[in-house]
Copies of this chain bind each other. A is one copy, B any other.
Amino acid sequence: MHLKLLKSNGLLFFLVTMTLSGFAQMGVAPGGSAVAATSEDSLLIRRLADTILTDGRTYGNLRLLTKTVGARLSGSAGYYKAEKWGQQVLQESSADKVWLQECMVPHWVRGGKDSASWVGGGGAAGGGSAAVGLDVLALGNSQGTGVKGIRAPVVLINNFDELEQRRDEVKGKIVFYNYPFNPLFVETFRAYGDAVRYRGAGASRAAKYGAVAVIVRSMSSSIDNTPHTGALMYNDSFPKIPAVAVGLRDADRLAARIPGHQIDVYLRTNAQMLPDTLAHNVIGELKGTEFPDQYITVGGHLDSWDPAEGAMDDGAGCVQSIEVLRALKAIGYQPRHTIRVVLFANEENGGRGGRKYAEAAKANNEHHLLGLESDNGGFTPRGFTLSLSEDKLAAIQPWVKLLKPYGVYELEHGGGGSDVNPMGRELGAVVGELRPDSQRYFEYHHARNDVLENVNKRELEMGAVNMAALIYLVDKYGL
């Protein structure tokens, strides 16, 4: 689009062709304009937005985390650097108090570059006999192949029903699960929920029938060949066989070549699970003025998968949560309840940090109103889910009017993220999470391209604005 000229009596008028009248209803004008909202709440929320969108640290903090700390899987050196980063930015953001909460975490290491290739069937184009490389990443928590690797015939399995039907064919073989990420789910997290079973349980289910390794089609909507890792969980009843995720283009090529051909796959992964080790949740607090012993928690998880920077998963949620505290303090808001920012340890391959936080709070008999999480990417916000009853959810619907100028249309019934859900179970707290637009999430999730450059500054900030607004409303009105 562009600008448009109206010429009238020698005077020039420039009109923006985008119709502003429509947008005037959505965007709130900057302070001082005639469109400015009138109520105390909308003015306060506007002040939160103003500081986040102008003096905000959201994106700058994410740049530091991704570019100076980088990958930070539980137990890695990166994780301990991230703990220091978290303490420092919480202090710089004027938390009243910052501390570490000890937590034992699993310590899985990739141990070097994963590699894979296949031979047979004439090669990728059907005309050669050379080995064809596959872009793979070992799944988190998986055991490596040993230094010699594993070479075995591959069996294409489209889903678990087919595995059961063909259980007698997989002994000594490498099972290749090619279950698709269903594009018909508008909400991409549903496609993930549908497909992730193959990553999580596929290895042990194949091992049960004698398979020696598995390859899993990446859980992704991307159009590139980047493999997407993530945790598996072995069933202790069966051998712990190696497992990798493969990029989508390579998955398609391999799947196309298998029918009618004998194809061998070679895999080499170097992963191993070391003994549990000590890590920490990083916690910062704004002390409540009226109810200092009642808590509102907002957080994301500090750990991230090793092949990338964890910008979106979940650096975004960490810096948004910190920004909530910074913005409340920056505008001089004095919370009634104590507001805690928690950067959780070990979400990705154990969930220990979230459980530890809830257990410690329970042991201390703490009263928690809300645990709010951001762990769905730093994309443009659309809504929040909250674990409220229908009646209570109906009662807070007027808040939507206050959030809508910042892009949030819905306060829906639903749970929290995995780090705050233990607060619901252990403490009876309301839990919830930010729900940004999901279309781009699974292009970067657990993959090498989860880097700062794929997080948009404005979208990230708009998430922080809405989180700060919701925390303010809960602090003021309760839940």
User: Which A residues are closer than 8 A to B by beta carbons?
Assistant: 1-5, 10, 12, 14, 16-31, 49-50, 53-54, 59, 140, 182-190, 192-193, 196-197, 199-201, 204, 221, 223, 230-231, 233, 235, 237, 313-314, 347-349, 351, 375-376, 380, 382-383, 385, 405-407, 409-410, 412-418, 421, 433, 435, 437, 439-440, 443, 445-446, 456-459, 462
Chain B residues with CB below 8 A from A437, complex form: 380, 407, 437, 459
**Inter-chain contact A199/B3, CB cutoff 8 Å:** yes
In the complex formed, the residue of B with least CB distance to A412 is B22
A22 to B459, CA, bound (A): 21
**Inter-chain contact A3/B459, CB cutoff 8 Å:** no
With A21-B415, A418-B2 known as contacts, the answer to whether A50 contacts B14 (CB < 8 A) is no
**Inter-chain contact B184/A4, CB cutoff 8 Å:** no
**Inter-chain contact B193/A20, CB cutoff 8 Å:** yes
In the complex formed, the residue of B with least CB distance to A5 is B233
Q: Give the number of times this chain occurs in the complex, counting copies.
A: 2
With A184-B53, A186-B462 known as contacts, the answer to whether A201 contacts B14 (CB < 8 A) is yes
**Inter-chain contact A22/B435, CB cutoff 8 Å:** yes
A446 to B59, CA, bound (A): 24
**Inter-chain contact A421/B3, CB cutoff 8 Å:** no
Chain B residues with CB below 8 A from A351, complex form: 4, 17
**Inter-chain contact B421/A439, CB cutoff 8 Å:** no
A292 to B51, CA, bound (A): 55
Smallest CB separation, A203 vs chain B (Å): 11
**Inter-chain contact B21/A413, CB cutoff 8 Å:** yes
**Inter-chain contact A3/B415, CB cutoff 8 Å:** no
Chain B residues with CB below 8 A from A406, complex form: 186
Task: Provide a sorted-by-A list of 30 A–B residue pairs whose CB atoms are within 8 angstroms.
Answer: A1-B313, A1-B347, A1-B375, A1-B445, A3-B196, A3-B200, A4-B418, A12-B201, A12-B235, A16-B192, A16-B193, A17-B375, A18-B376, A19-B385, A19-B433, A22-B414, A22-B435, A23-B435, A26-B410, A27-B186, A29-B185, A29-B190, A30-B184, A31-B184, A54-B184, A221-B458, A380-B380, A380-B439, A439-B462, A440-B458
